[in-house]
Amino acid sequence: MKTDLTDTTASKINKALVQARRAIGTPAVGMVLTLVIVTDEENAYDALKAAGDASREHPSRTLVVIKRVSRSPRDRTQSRLDAEVRVGADAGTGETVVLRLYGEVVDHAQSVVLPLLLPDAPVVVWWPVNAPLDPANDPLGALAQRRVTDTYACEQPVKELAARADAYTPGDTDLSWTRITPWRSMLAAALDQVACQVQGVEVEGEEFNPSCELLAMWLADRLDVPVRRTRSAGPGLTAVRMDTDCGPIVLDRADGSLATLAIQGQPKRAVALKRRETSELIAEELRRLDPDDTYASALRYGVERLKQGDGGDAPAKGERRAGEREGVAAPVESAAKGPAAEATAEAPVKRAAAK
């Protein structure tokens, strides 16, 4: 059921929600949180679709805030709020309110959203695009327990990671971090199968993919070993190679769907590592509302501390590096020489499962 309201107020929107619930025969409210999506017209459809799919796991009231651009000085002085109320099949398993802000009210979006929040329920704010540099100090972000951004949508995602680290506040997270959850789980499980010390790591992926940097920073932070970041044609993350004193461990995903795990002395295994949809990422983030300390630690490690490969020696798909056997990667050179290796020799090497 859809209800369109033009030049309306928050009070009228709340009344429309109550009337819509009664009209479809569900007067009770069974939602667990409020999800606020701050986006533009171009990305509103995709964000709404992802939130609707995620609501099957997390019934919620979804408030979509669209700040419309006024084209003339006269329009900028005239405030107006339009709303579209969706309940029932049109809103997944919850309620959806699309708010379009015009004029001066654009600068006071928090005043519009605050009366529409579910009482005594957590609030999550998600910026699919154009996220503020400091989400916690944003007027809308200040209303939330969790603030979700996506550096993959930025023009300079790697530099954006550095800005996120400087402005980090407990409760911040990023979908670029959520994308590597299966990789982190698989790598930790692989290290649990061997009693070896990791001496160096190489992370290979697309050049402008912040998930690659976050995975490299997580490995460097947890293992306390030099990590080399190299480029490939993608899609996304393509490989992680860990050089250990028992032989290399390789997790290789060339096609963005099926990966191969190769451990020295064991048969190769095919593992599912498909690239997930945005709805799956949002659903995962909504499962936890407490601060993600692991993300904070990896983010603060710093992109500038990673060793950057020039990408010139990255093999094409189907090719193998020099000295590399089928299914097993050659040892990482950066782990064997250079100042980083000397620092590693003095510091105790840790395993991922130890933290």
> Do 96 and 42 have their domain in common?
yes
Q: For residues 321-351, b (16+ Cβ closer than 10 Å) or e, as one string?
A: eeebeebbbbbbebbeeeebbeebeeeeeeb
Is 283 within a domain?
no
For residue 72, what pLDDT is reported? 66
Please report whether residue 285 resides in a domain. no
Instruction: Say how many residues make up the chain.
Output: 355
| Mean pLDDT value of segment 26-45 | 86
Q: Are residues 204 and 342 in the same domain?
A: yes
CB-CB contact of 275 with 256 (8 Å): yes
d(CA 232, CA 311): 7
pTM: 0.80
**Residue 71 buriedness (CB in 10 A; 0-12 / 13-18 / 19+):** exposed
Q: Do residue 105 and residue 26 come from a single domain? A: yes
Q: Does 65 lie in the same domain as 207?
A: no
Percentage of residues in the chain having pLDDT higher than 90: 50
Mean pLDDT value of segment 281-305: 90
Question: Which of 149, 170, 190 is the last residue in one of the domains?
Answer: 149
Same domain for 22 and 102, yes or no, is: yes
Q: Residues 187, 236, 287, CA angle at the centre, nearest 5°?
A: 60
Structural domains in the chain (count) = 2
- Check whether residue 198 and residue 94 sit in a common domain: no
Mean of the per-residue pLDDT values of the chain: 82
348 shares a domain with 221: yes
What per-residue confidence (pLDDT) applies to 313?
40
In a domain, 127, yes or no: yes
Least confident of 43-47, 92-96, 171-175, 338-342: 338-342
Strand partners, 4: 84
Beginning with the edge strand found earlier in the chain, give each strand of the sheet holding 227-231 in spatial order: 269-272, 258-263, 249-252, 237-244, 198-205, 227-231, 307-308
Distances (CA, A) of 66 to 7, 45, 122, 246, 334: 15, 11, 21, 55, 48
Q: Are 88 and 59 in contact (CB under 8 A)?
A: no
**For 158-185, what is the mean pLDDT?**
92
Domain range enclosing 59: 2-149
Describe the strand order of the beta sheet including 2-5 as a list of residue ranges.
2-5, 80-87, 95-102, 60-67, 33-39, 123-126, 146-149, 172-174
Angle between helices 293-301 and 210-223 (to 10 degrees): 100
Instruction: Examine the fold and report which residue of 131, 149, 167 is the final residue of a domain before the chain moves on.
Output: 149
Residue 282 lies in a domain: no
Which position has the token pair 């680290």?
165
The answer on 217 and 121 residing in a single domain is no
In a domain, 160, yes or no: no
> 28 and 131 share a domain?
yes
Nearest Cα to Cα of residue 242 among 177, 208, 192, 300? 192
